[in-house]
Amino acid sequence: MALIAALAFSVTAAVAGTVRSGTEPGVAVDSIVLGGTAPLTGAASRYAAVARGAWAYFQYANNRGGVYGRKIHYRYVDDGDNPAITVTATRQLIQQDKVFAIFNSPGTATNLAVRGELNGGKVPQLFVASGATTWGRDYGQYPYTSGFQPTYQAEGWVYGKYLARTASGSRVAVLFENDDYGKDLLGGLKRGLERSRVKVIAAEAYEVTSTDVASQIAKLRASGADTLVLFATPTFAIQAYQAANRIGWKPKHVVTNAAAAASASMQAASFGGRNRLVNGTISIQFLRDPTDLRSRKDPATGLYRRIMKQYAPGANADDPLYVYGMAAAWTAVEALKKAGKDLTRASLVAALDTFTAMGNPFLLPGIVVKTAGKDHDPIEQMLLRRWQNGSWKAFGGLWAYPAS
């Protein structure tokens, strides 16, 4: 089904690519061509939903007039999460397909691989789908690049602040992936715990090539910690729950990073309720959760379901990665509107330099996408949520990561 959708869209995109205005690449009287890469194949292929969700939203927006009468043609191509392929695929999008901007490509390594070239060629790298800290932090050097989601550091910081406030005196053990992703989360956690009575007493890394994390979990337990924090990808987070449960470890608090905490992963980890450790897990959330029972009647969720039904039939609408894609696409439409009728790459980047977008129906109510001055991390607000009896329940108010 998805394959058919992908084929269908590449046909329309190819037609659109031939209509060009004389001045700015990818902009015509009636169209804007955006490009992007995504892992349509391979181990990371579930992240293709980020691109498919965005594509579906653009179809919806196009049917409602587009941006100043221009329809958005979003052409995403496969990179298999391989940075080397990202480079050639991105080059092709720019040189042959003459896209206006690269938008919403998932992955940290893949986006780093093309950042220099895109900035050198003054091609916007709009809303990178990765929480690495570098996108916002290095805005001065790479002004054509913008992040989107909360940084991993901001996420870790919120967990730290939460534990500092509610679990004073706890001893924390952390399992983290041995790369920038895991280390950013861990760094944020430690920052959030500064000057508190909560200490990280053990941190164990695993490699992406590891077969399992049982050994690390046994070591973390031996440290005498009473709080377990998992900064991992879904497979390893699920394994960690299993390993901790097997050796009979019952930590008082468990925290799992948002990327690992999709409802499907949590359900896999809880084994139909047989793994009690999963219940009560804390994580963050900034997107609307399509599986949240309380949001069933909410108009924004209704809109999301309608768009999915119409433009991504057959796809699993419970997957929050589609919501992510729509949230990014919605914001892109706002940014393109702000960039004005005489759209250029420079006017888009200028529009994003100081940018505020409220009321994104795919983000949690109250979250504002905002950049200003030195702060170029668009989303910095999030809610905490707790996994209870088979679903996530948000609690408390919005947490805002302080601009550094």
391 sits near another protein (criterion: CB under 8 A): no
- Read off the amino acid at residue 124: P
Q: Which helix (H) or strand (E) holds 181?
A: helix 180-193
Q: How far apart are CA 74 and CA 350, in angstroms?
A: 21
Give counts: helices (H), strands (E), the chain.
13, 13
**Nearest distance from residue 185's CB to another protein, in Å?**
17
Tell me which long-range contacts 303-308 makes (C-beta under 8 A, separation of at least 24).
Answer: 303/361, 304/361, 304/362, 307/56, 307/57, 307/59, 307/60, 308/56
Name the residue nearer to another protein (CB basis): 22 or 248.
248
**Nearest distance from residue 334's CB to another protein, in Å?**
31
Using CB under 8 A, which of the segments 106-114, 199-207, 292-300, 384-392 binds another protein? 199-207
205 sits near another protein (criterion: CB under 8 A): yes
Name the residue nearer to another protein (CB basis): 86 or 242.
242
Q: Note whether 318 and 263 are within 8 A (CB).
A: yes
238 sits near another protein (criterion: CB under 8 A): yes
Q: What is the DSSP secondary structure assignment for residue 135, as one 8-state letter?
A: H
Using CB under 8 A, which of the segments 41-49, 116-124, 284-292, 329-337 binds another protein? 41-49
Among 21, 88, 235, 347, binds another protein (CB under 8 A): 235
Q: How many residues does the chain have?
A: 404
Q: How many residues bind another protein (CB under 8 A)?
A: 40
Using CB under 8 A, which of the segments 38-46, 67-75, 126-134, 305-313 binds another protein? 38-46
Using CB under 8 A, which of the segments 11-19, 236-244, 340-348, 386-394 binds another protein? 236-244
Q: How far apart are CA 187 and CA 175, in angstroms?
A: 13
Using CB under 8 A, which of the segments 21-29, 56-64, 212-220, 367-375 binds another protein? 212-220
Name the residue nearer to another protein (CB basis): 178 or 344.
178
Name the residue nearer to another protein (CB basis): 68 or 271.
271
206 sits near another protein (criterion: CB under 8 A): yes
Report DSSP letters for 262-304, one per residue: -HHHHHHHHTTTT-GGGTT-EEEE-B--TT-GGGTT-HHHHHH
**Nearest distance from residue 233's CB to another protein, in Å?**
9
207 sits near another protein (criterion: CB under 8 A): yes
Name the residue nearer to another protein (CB basis): 235 or 391.
235
**Nearest distance from residue 206's CB to another protein, in Å?**
5
Residue with tokens 């991993």: 152
Q: How far apart are CA 100 and CA 344, in angstroms?
A: 8
247 sits near another protein (criterion: CB under 8 A): yes
Q: How far apart are CA 294 and CA 222, in angstroms?
A: 40
Among 104, 146, 153, 216, binds another protein (CB under 8 A): 216
43 sits near another protein (criterion: CB under 8 A): yes
3-class DSSP state for residue 54?
Answer: helix
Q: How far apart are CA 175 and CA 205, in angstroms?
A: 6
Per-residue contact string for residues 165-184; x = within reach of another protein by CB under 8 A? -------------x------
Q: How far apart are CA 54 and CA 321, in angstroms?
A: 10
| Rg (the chain; Cα; Å) | 21
Residue with tokens 């299993």: 242
Residue with tokens 């309720």: 273
**Nearest distance from residue 259's CB to another protein, in Å?**
12
4 sits near another protein (criterion: CB under 8 A): no
Among 6, 87, 109, 214, binds another protein (CB under 8 A): 214
Site of interaction with another protein (CB under 8 A):
41-46, 178, 204-207, 209-212, 214-219, 221-222, 234-235, 238-239, 242-243, 246-248, 264-265, 267-269, 271, 274-275
